[in-house]
């Protein structure tokens, strides 16, 4: 049940950010749901490989390179989903930061921890 609720929260945040953030476009709510699913899969399978390969750079930048990795994951999602478009790296960076913040806050509010 928590997984479905997290997907709904993510898709609503993606859809809302597409209206308020310039450079990020989602065609409809179904597209936002697809973005949430693909981002979840990319963060599960691809992001750990990127983090592992960039450990020296991440340590040198005191973890700030993880923001770049998040933006690259957003750009990969943009490439994979037709109903989702991000205009550039800075838009992807701001989108990933805001998405993480809003997801964290809303997950703390709506998801019960056991």
List % helix, strand, coil for the chain (3-state, nearest 5).
75, 5, 20
CA 92-98-101 angle, 5° bins = 140
pLDDT at position 71? 97
Does the pLDDT value for residue 113 go beyond 90? no
CA–CA distances in Å: residue 49 to residues 38, 75, 77: 16, 16, 16
Span 44-86, pLDDT tens digits: 999 999 999 999 999 999 999 999 999 999 999 999 999 999 9
What mean pLDDT do residues 91-101 have? 97
pLDDT at position 1? 80
Percent of the chain with pLDDT over 90: 93
pLDDT at position 46? 97
């Amino acid at each position: 049940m928590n997984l479905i609720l997290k997907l709904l929260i993510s898709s609503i945040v993606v859809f809302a950010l597409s209206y308020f953030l310039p450079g990020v476009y989602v065609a409809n709510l179904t597209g936002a749901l697809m973005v949430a699913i693909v981002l979840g899969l990319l963060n599960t399978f691809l992001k750990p490989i990127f983090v592992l390969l960039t450990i020296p750079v991440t340590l040198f930048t005191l973890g700030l390179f993880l923001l770049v990795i998040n933006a690259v994951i957003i750009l990969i999602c943009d490439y994979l989903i037709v109903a989702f478009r991000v205009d550039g790296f800075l838009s992807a960076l701001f989108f990933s930061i805001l998405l993480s913040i809003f997801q964290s806050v809303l997950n703390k509010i709506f998801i019960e921890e056991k």
